[in-house]
Amino acid sequence: MKVRIKFSKLGSLRYVGHLDFMRAVQKIIRRTSIEAAYTKGFSPHHILSFASPLGVGLESTGEYFDLELAYRDPFEMSVTDLARLNSIGLENDELPDVPSSDWILSQLNEQAPEGVRFLGIRRVEENNNKAMALVAAADYTIFFEEDAFDGRDLSTLLDEFLMRREIVVHKVSKKTESDVDIRPLIYAASVVNVDNSLFINDPSRLGPYGNGETADEQSCLAAAASLRIREEGYPAAIDLRVSAGSAANLKPETVAMALMDHAGLKYDPFACRVLRREMYMKGGKTLLDDGICF
């Protein structure tokens, strides 16, 4: 049975790299009573894949991973689904009944370290694309130090920035260098007012946010993270919705760098902090929206 799980990664865990964090999640699962499926072979491991690796230094309230569980799927399965189960050595009829989603989340949260909170879980089709292939957009909040823009009005700067037809940045990879226009990859942007910091996830501003019963908890986590980051010396903030995923991925740091360049200032990576709030599929749905509750 394939499930998709949503979680947050906050606080000091922003310094933990993706591979180390992935190993930590595997240890969390092993410490629970959850029956997870393993690969076959000499070195069995969890059948686990993350939606989009979170860069070092970034926090998030909207991360996802897919996990194969060794439980009998209570929903009707297609021939393709059954064949996939057989390929990893599982027979649906011989597996134990699946526990409730609340029980699975409670098991995970009991073993989770500070900074990790498992927020939601859905059953997804066995032949459904991996979460990584579904990501098309993401919401971020970028926080800046008080004097990051030398006293210039951030709202005015952002308006001027977004009015440009082209926003060309120079990208350097391991093998190539190129100039890329990132303007088509910025879908929405707005300045976050200090007075509205508790409502950083207001859906009327940047679209749908959260997933049913997890929306309140996720919003509270994001609001608390926002206030904490402000108190740590980053009072100015902008909300972004940008292209994400394998097709066209725009890093929020690239937007911050381009905005600083537009203001005629040198970009300082230590002068800003980033919170990823949510990830979306095409059409604006979150990665849990197409899943089934159980």
Tell me the C-alpha to C-alpha distance, in Å, between residue 35 and each of 41, 65, 76, 86, 95: 18, 16, 20, 17, 10
Q: What are phi and psi of 275, to 5 degrees?
A: -120, 120
Residues 88 and 222 in one domain: no
User: What CATH number should be reported for the domain holding residue 103?
Assistant: 3.30.70.580
- pLDDT confidence of residue 18: 96
Host H or E run for residue 107: helix 101-111
Lowest mean pLDDT among 195-204, 241-250, 282-291: 195-204
Hey, which of 6-20, 38-52, 120-134, 191-205 has the most confident mean pLDDT? Answer: 6-20
Which residue among 95, 110, 133 closes a domain? 133
What is residue 292's predicted lDDT score, i.e. its pLDDT? Answer: 86
Mean confidence (pLDDT) of the chain: 86
Give residue 239's pLDDT.
95
Clarify whether residues 129 and 139 are in a common domain.
Answer: no
Question: Has residue 286 been placed in a domain?
Answer: no
* Token pair for 84: 């996939």
- Residue that finishes a domain, picked among 133, 168, 191: 133
What confidence tens digit (pLDDT) does each residue in 242-282 have?
999 988 999 999 999 999 999 999 999 999 999 999 999 99
What is the largest distance, in Å, between two alpha-carbon atoms of the chain?
Answer: 66
232 located within any domain: yes
Least confident range from 51-60, 162-171, 198-207: namely 198-207
Q: Are 237 and 139 in contact (CB under 8 A)?
A: no
Q: Is residue 75, in this structure, part of any structural domain at all? A: yes
Residue 4: closest CA among 36, 46, 49: 49
Task: Tell whether 36 and 9 lie within a shared domain.
Answer: yes
- Report the C-alpha gap between 209 and 199 in whole angstroms: 12
pLDDT tier for residue 291 given thresholds of 50, 70 and 90: confident
Indicate if 160 and 81 belong to the same structural domain.
no
The whole-number average pLDDT for the span 164-182 is 90
pLDDT score, position 214: 46
Q: What torsion, rounded to 10 degrees, do the Cα atoms 72, 74, 79, 85 define?
A: -20
State the pLDDT confidence band at 171, using cuts at 50, 70 and 90. confident
Tell me if 290 is assigned to some domain.
no
Which domain-ending residue is among 91, 112, 133?
Answer: 133
Rounded average pLDDT over 205-234: 70
What's the whole-model pTM score? Answer: 0.86
- What does the pLDDT read at residue 293? 84
Instruction: Judge if 125 and 150 occupy the same domain.
Output: no
Question: Out of 45-49, 218-222, 274-278, which region has the weakest mean confidence (pLDDT)?
Answer: 218-222
- Domain-located, residue 122: yes
Going from the C-alpha of 88 to that of each of 1, 47, 126, 147, 177, the distances in angstroms are 12, 10, 12, 56, 42
127 and 141 housed in the same domain: no
Tens digit of each residue's pLDDT (9 = 90 or more) over 1-46: 899 999 999 999 999 999 999 999 999 999 999 999 998 888 888 9
Domain that holds residue 79: 2-133
For 213, list phi and psi in degrees, rounded to 5.
Answer: -70, -15
In a domain, 57, yes or no: yes
Whether the CB-CB separation of 140 and 252 falls below 8 Å is answered with yes
- Kindly state whether residues 66 and 180 are assigned to the same domain: no
Q: In terms of domains, do 207 and 218 share one?
A: yes
Number of domains in the chain: 2
Is the residue at 184 inside a domain? yes
Low-confidence winner among 3-17, 73-87, 133-147, 156-170 (lowest mean pLDDT): 73-87
Question: For residue 202, which amino acid is it?
Answer: D
pLDDT over 80 (residue 201): no
Strands 137-144 and 116-123, how do they pair?
A: unpaired
53 and 17 both lie in a single domain: yes
How many Å apart are CA 118 and CA 241, to the nearest integer?
A: 23
> Does 132 have pLDDT greater than 60?
yes
% of the chain with per-residue pLDDT over 90? 63
Q: Output phi, psi for 86, to 5 deg.
A: -60, -35
| Domain presence at residue 55 | yes
On whether both 176 and 240 belong to a single domain, the answer is yes
Distance CA 168, CA 176 (A): 16
DSSP 8: E
- The 3-state DSSP composition of the chain as helix, strand, coil percent (nearest 5) reads 35, 25, 40
**148 and 129 within one domain:** no
167 and 115 within one domain? no
